[in-house]
Amino acid sequence: MTKEKRERIPNSEATRVIPKGRLLIIGGKEDKGDKPSRQQEHNINFISEEILKRFVDELKGENPLVVVIPTASRQPEKTARDYVEIFHGLGAKNVQVADVRTRPEANNPELVELVRNAAGIMFTGGDQLRLTSIFGGSEMLVAMKETYAFKDIIIAGTSAGATAMSTPMIYEGKSEGGYIKGDVRVTTGLEFLKNVAVDTHFLTRGRIVRLTQAICTNPECIGIGLEEDTAILVTQGGNVEVVGSGLVTVVDGMGITETNISEIDNGEPFTAKGLRMHMLGSAEKYVVPSYLRFQLQ
């Protein structure tokens, strides 16, 4: 979208836009065609490379451009190379890497133009704070949000790349616990999925309580826990379809009748009553309430 066209859109309308793009938010360790996990072997509905195939199938246009962003990874070159090879093997031949490691690089006009021209963007795993601290407020992030709002693009993230796509964003917590106030730390994510907290490796690492604590601090938000090799495909800013071999857990705090999270001190266990929870398998659907959905700032 050109600068001139963006300026013709009134702010009041731009903030209410229903995005034309789609999100593929992955719980980590998505199958890449190698040996399936033991859990996957026992799942008669397991499909090899199902999630990454879905990403490629969702690409639009002739010879669509895929941009891999390995910023979250401690080994960005290797991580990016792996995804380039995987996407090539799945039939996506036009794949480029945006190896952004600093905030000035996130404002590089060439990289801004690269993401504007992308049909698909892939955020790899690693550390979600690297993504928010480097891309927050950057020209690249502005370009990606505008592209997501007005273009039929698919933006994917796995593990840390998935957690960073939501707001609020969990960036630290005791995986084995989270029942103690103060165990869970939350900040602002990249805000592709607003008012929804995403947690990954959800059942494998026992993160249900830490996600619940995050929701108790603001019950208007929805919590979505993604198991490994499991993803949600989000269309129109909040229509959710489950993809992959595991389960998606939805924690809905809107009906909370009682919580002591604001009254107890750090280090004390918290209480929550009246929570609702949904467990969703492959191809199941869920709709995020309209007032919680994406808004273009």
Q: Give CA separation, 26 vs 90, 162, 206, 246, in Å.
A: 18, 6, 17, 11
Could you tell me which of 288, 290, 259, 260 has the C-alpha nearest to residue 275?
259
Tokens of 280: 């969703």
Catalytic choice (73, 138, 159, 282): 159
Only one residue has tokens 């040996």, namely 35
CA–CA separation, 285 vs 232, rounded Å? 9
**Count of other CB atoms within 10 angstroms of residue 139:** 16
CA–CA separation, 253 vs 3, rounded Å? 40
The residues, ordered by sequence, that sit 6+ positions from 191 with a Cβ below 8 Å of its Cβ are: 145, 166, 167, 294, 297
Catalytic choice (146, 227, 228, 241): 228
**201 belongs to the catalytic site:** yes
Strand, helix or coil for residue 257? coil
Give rounded-to-5 percent helix, strand, coil for the chain: 30, 25, 50
Active-site residue numbers?
A: 159, 201, 228
